[in-house]
Amino acid sequence: MIAILDYEMGNLSSIYNAVSYLGFQAVITRDPSVIEKADGIILPGVGAFKVGMAHLHEFGLIEPIRRHVVEEEKPLFGICLGMQLLVEVGYEHGETKGLGIVKGEAVPFKDVIDPKLRIPHVGWNSVKQTGNSQLFGDIKADSDFYFVHSYIVRPRDPDVVCSVTDYGVDFCSSLSFGSAFATQFHPEKSHTQGLQLLKNWLEGIEHA
Amino acid sequence: MLKTRLIPVLLLQSGHLVRSEAFNIHQIIGDPFHEAERFNQWQVDELIYLDITQDQKYQYGRIDREHALSSQALDILSEVSKRCFMPLTWGGSLRTFEEVQEVFSRGADKVAINTQAFEEPALIKKIASQYGNQAVVVSIDAMFNDESGKYEVCINGGKERTGITPEEWASKAETFGAGEILLQSIDRDGKGSGYDVELINRVSHCCNIPLIACSGAGMYEHYVDAIEAGASAVAAANLWHFKELADRGGRRALQRAGINVRI
């Protein structure tokens, strides 16, 4: 059973619909006792880093997430803000501590790219796989996925980077560390390749 | 690099798919579910639904906000969002934060707000702080004012002139937290004679958020003009419904012009 975390940061129904469509059981929850029993967690989210962390704190989800990933080494799939929150710190109106599961930081696009490029980065862009993750499976090496974000993650260790995407700068569009895998793009909004990626992750849990 | 988006716009009135011209004539052209399925199979970049049912009610002076949102339209949204795994934007007479919340809970990724955003910009901020800037598309309808020699924003389904230029309003909307601008030309609506590139050029230079150009596409080559004028994405309604292979045709035209699109 997959737990999709509800911390009031974004459209959960799309993810739930995608997981159900693929034939897997999911529940939208913020109940730590349910999360504890989950085989896998999806950490979704769109919006601000600071607000995201504040909500995770408010709903008592920080410890359950850390326990699931770090102690129990159970699978987690982070999407968009869900990927950004995995790092140590986010820089937006000051500094905010993240979950600290992956070494690195989240920074605003506007600080690192040509000011002529429009922000947020919205639309389909090429996800160039680095080969650091098997989860992409048979998905073509530079398939397009849907992005919508104003921040990027800069992991400290290049080996965690599973794909790179170009928008003014080559940024990390997916990463993998321990049992955590995360994408800056929205697989639930990326047609067949997005669904395939989710399916690969879900099947990996089923066969574990 | 980021690919240019081609976005079909579906206009809904009382649960039917309609076409319009100069924001006036509405003729029924199809079934929204059938169209959504078609777009899903073609794997289009995004979908925009604009429910103009309420405009009619508003026009007849029925200010019945208790059951404000057409439940028929919302049911369409729920059904479509269950089967379409691509971004969905929903708009049309959204007036209150509660209505916006309902639309998000039914599966929309972004909301398009028009008149209410203009009359109450604080609503943009409120939606953005809850759902993120990227979830708010501010929709702007503009027409050329021959007297002043400038473009002018019109609200309430294009019926009321505001005296404000779209450049000014788009820039202001950005400061209030809009993630994207959806720019429609009342003059070009339904005519098929091309986008208003002058309008697109002016507005795109006044803001740094993505601009989705709409209204006027009659040939795929028109997409190129809009992108070269500064649009980040090209939206069209009629072009998608009345032409076979609209998706491929549009992509090919942009590719030929050297513009990056999904293949």
pLDDT in tens, B134-145: 999 999 999 999
Q: Is the Cβ–Cβ distance between B90 and B32 less than 8 Å?
A: no
**pTM summary value:** 0.92
Query: Does the structure show a pLDDT above 60 at B57?
Result: no
Sheet strands (E) in A25-169: 26-29, 40-43, 76-79, 87-91, 95-97, 102-108, 121-126, 128-129, 144-149, 151-155, 161-166
CA distance A183 to A79: 5
Question: In the beta sheet, which residues pair with residue B161?
Answer: B154
> In this model, does residue B83 exceed pLDDT 90?
no
Catalytic-residue membership of A121: no
Q: Does B260 touch chain A (CB under 8 A)?
A: no
Say which residue, A107 or B248, is predicted with more confidence: A107
Share of chain A above pLDDT 70, in %: 100
Q: Nearest C-alpha of chain A: how many angstroms from B181?
A: 12
CB contact B210 to A (< 8 Å): yes
Query: Using 50, 70 and 90 to split pLDDT, how confident is the model at B242?
Result: low
- For residue A128, what are the CA distances in angstroms to A170, A172, B137? 10, 10, 29
B135 touches chain A (CB under 8 A): yes
Name every chain A residue with its beta carbon within 8 A of the beta carbon of B106: 13
Q: What is the mean pLDDT of residues A73-93?
A: 95
ipTM value: 0.90
The pLDDT assigned to A76 comes to 98
Chain mean pLDDT for chain B? 88
